[in-house]
Structure 1
């Protein structure tokens, strides 16, 4: 009995050793392929919009099959959600960059070329479409409101610090000013994203005048 058990165990061990192991995933290549699909989807969405674009269009643009695409994303909805999340993160980072003394003071001498560079689309070039997509649902509107409140608080805190340091007008309502600056930025950004005929020279001068007369001490 011991001999039989020993042989059986040996056979099992040899079989286990000879069984080929699954190849490990190359995480870098997986992430790269996922990003390529998102970039292709973004090009399709910019041309057709989120909801008129078809999964087949994305596959064609990405040069891949539906099977490969669905390895990375379960549906077109999931692709849209990934792009919206990335665009909102990039937008928050851009606005948080304004909540610095150097950035606010820089607006006082803003030039047309600098404004144009500031408003140039980044990420997937779908910022406005992403805002609108989020606004379609109650949950999305809550997310937008939360993001706006967080950014406004950061900017208001900077302006309050500026009052303490003497470079912001002491009688300025910091919360109201922060809200106004966010409205101004998002409004100009919205026009730029929609391809409106924006007069960068006049807009830059108006922003500069506003900062010097309304914000800075």
Structure 2
């Protein structure tokens, strides 16, 4: 008789592994981190890890899949009764990881992987596509309501909003990076750029 898998335990174990991998990759980079490092950071043995993932590359993909699924679900769950509030909630969701000390090292690790692993680009691109669609729709509504600069094409404005927000991740590893300060400045820049009412 086949052994039944507890879906909650299965999900928790995968989360434990990808959380440990995130710490290992942030500390040593993708190439420098070993499965042994991931075992140490996750508190699990290699047998358990290989039960869930075939290899280190699969663990990286699993880490990005978890992030993709959670972020997309969060973006789709944002209520858009008030387009301005929803716009800022999307921006806040896209930048919330900036407060995590792992953000900088993981950003640079992923940039390195983009050159060699197309799956990384696909997984990151899936989040970007959903975020872009949400932002473009909200900017269209704000323009229609007279609450945003009507001279921007909404899709172009959404690309700029994402580019400015994403740019902070490139600085998040700097020694003097202060996420709270930078996120306040981000709101100021986006408000002035798109002629939004303060929010």
Whether TM-score is above 0.5 comes out as yes
Superposition pairs for residues 64-83 of structure 1, below 5 Å?
64-83=44-63
Once the two structures are overlaid, the 10-residue window that deviates more, 205-214 or 30-39, is 205-214
**Pair 1:101 & 2:80 matched:** no
**Pair 1:119 & 2:119 matched:** no
- Structure 1 residue 33: deviation in Å? 2.4
Counterpart of 1:195 (choices 169, 174, 196) is: 174
Superposition pairs for residues 1-217 of structure 1, below 5 Å?
21-90=1-70, 100-104=83-87, 119-121=98-100, 125=103, 128=107, 129-138=109-118, 140-141=120-121, 144=124, 147-192=127-172, 194-198=173-177, 201=181, 204-205=184-185, 207-208=187-188, 210-212=190-192, 214-216=194-196
What SS is found at the alignment partner of 1:51?
helix
TM-score (structure 1 length as normaliser): 0.66
Over 3 Å counting, the alpha-carbon distance change for 1:93 and 1:181 in structure 2 is farther
What SS is found at the alignment partner of 2:30?
coil
> Is the 8 Å Cα contact of residues 84 and 138 (structure 2) preserved in structure 1?
yes
Aligned length: 188
> Is the 8 Å Cα contact of residues 34 and 72 (structure 1) preserved in structure 2?
yes
- Structure 1 residue 95: deviation in Å? 6.8
Over 3 Å counting, the alpha-carbon distance change for 1:186 and 1:66 in structure 2 is same
Over 3 Å counting, the alpha-carbon distance change for 1:53 and 1:139 in structure 2 is closer
> Is the 8 Å Cα contact of residues 86 and 138 (structure 2) preserved in structure 1?
no
Over 3 Å counting, the alpha-carbon distance change for 1:118 and 1:166 in structure 2 is farther
> Is the 8 Å Cα contact of residues 163 and 169 (structure 1) preserved in structure 2?
yes
Query: Over alpha carbons, which structure has the higher Rg?
Result: 1
Distance (whole Å) between structure 1 residues aligned to residue 41 and residue 146 of structure 2: 54
> Is the 8 Å Cα contact of residues 25 and 106 (structure 2) preserved in structure 1?
no
Distance (whole Å) between structure 2 residues aligned to residue 75 and residue 145 of structure 1: 23
> What is the RMSD of the two structures over their aligned residues, measured on CA atoms?
3.7
What SS is found at the alignment partner of 2:31?
coil
Distance (whole Å) between structure 2 residues aligned to residue 63 and residue 185 of structure 1: 34
Gap runs ≥5 in structure 1: 1-20, 111-115
> Is the 8 Å Cα contact of residues 68 and 123 (structure 2) preserved in structure 1?
no
TM-score (structure 2 length as normaliser): 0.70
Gap runs ≥5 in structure 2: none
- Structure 1 residue 211: deviation in Å? 1.0
